[in-house]
Amino acid sequence: MKILGLETSCDETGLAIYDDTLNDGKGGVLAQVLYSQIELHATYGGVVPELASRDHIRKLVPLFHELLNKANINKSDIDAVAYTKGPGLIGALMTGALFGRTLAFGLGVPAIGVHHMEGHLLAPVMTGDGVEFPFVCLLVSGGHTMLVRADGVGQYTVLGESIDDAAGECFDKAAKMLNLPYPGGPNVAKLAETGNRHAYELPRPMLHKGLDFSFSGMKTAVHNLIKDTPNADSDPVVRADIAASFEYAVVDTLVKKCVKALKQTGLKRLVIAGGVSANRSLRQSLEHELNKIHAVVHYAPPELCTDNGAMIAYAGYCRLKAGQADGLSVACVPRWDMQSLKIA
């Protein structure tokens, strides 16, 4: 079975073909293509929803043909279409959903709307890196930060989540304060490489209050630190130290919450997914701390951490295999509770 996956929830247009006959029947990605809108939005320092929607419309058809050529298949070889139904920017979601549902109708194949964060959660499972249910998953991106217990596909319990800013959003805002280009996360991490992470003490909000997160206070603390530190806008050493101290505070918070979640559930397997999961400092710190409690951590390869069509194709495959499919109507969901994702 060949599943076309379409990801258009925000500022990446991702398409991929998942084929369950690859790798001796274990399945794998036959081909994928990705177009990033970073340059489009960099001028504004963040994603402009209307521009994102228009760019998805402009890119979907040529990327689809590029994907078919890369996979060396015809449209008629597609057995089903999976598209991101939510959460995300409503205009961006609608572009991929309407394209996918229309294509599926024309080909006479089933279509399924996929939860964006379920796609991220299942990406490490798709890679075949020995990930087995149950596990605790840290979903951490520009729009979401949450800890989820996953007992199987569609069997999710949210253990904790951010009550305000997501970790990725906090990275983007800290980058703006440091006059770093968009996207913030990779640029803050790069600057932090040469800094002293112990140079400045930043808060770890809600560190000892359950498994929920809060990053708005950390954002404010960075703002005040930059304002009150001499030469924070010009001295490269000071800037690097601020970036390193900020990254360390975020990573330290995420890691300690993950350890707490594993101890609370009694599980010994952690999966991290989403754009921020590509952060090297986060990966290294998690591996170090989880080794102390004899737990293991899994993550997707870097190209599958950020938004991509492969994760949507695989999540759609799992849903279709369970007998689920959507009707002809298209209803995208900008906000969508993961705990509602049951397998029928």
- 8 Å CB contact between 336 and 87: yes
Q: 291: left (phi > 0), else alpha (psi -120 to 50), else beta?
A: alpha
Q: Which of 165, 166, 171 is nearest to 184 (CA)?
A: 171
Locate 38 and state its tokens. 């970073």
Does the annotation place 143 within a ligand binding site? yes
CA 110 to chain centre: 26
Does the annotation place 72 within a ligand binding site? no
Does the annotation place 115 within a ligand binding site? no
Exposed, middle or buried by CB within 10 Å (0-12, 13-18, 19+), for 73?
A: middle
Determine the residue type at 113. Answer: G
Fill in the DSSP letter of residue 266: T
Does the annotation place 172 within a ligand binding site? yes
Does the annotation place 185 within a ligand binding site? yes
- 8 Å CB contact between 336 and 115: yes
Q: Which of 1, 2, 90, 54 is nearest to 309 (CA)?
A: 2
Q: What is the distance between the alpha carbons of residues 297 and 299, in angstroms, rounded to a whole number? A: 7
Residue 86 phi/psi, 5-degree rounding, is 165, 175
Does the annotation place 116 within a ligand binding site? yes
Locate 305 and state its tokens. 């951490």
Does the annotation place 20 within a ligand binding site? no
Beta strands in 8-59 (DSSP E): 12-19, 28-36
The three-class DSSP label of residue 294 is coil
Locate 294 and state its tokens. 């004899």
Does the annotation place 288 within a ligand binding site? no
Residues tagged in the binding site annotation: 116, 120, 139-143, 172, 185, 279, 307
Residues tagged in the binding site annotation for Fe cation: 116, 120, 307
Residues tagged in the binding site annotation for substrate: 139-143, 172, 185, 279
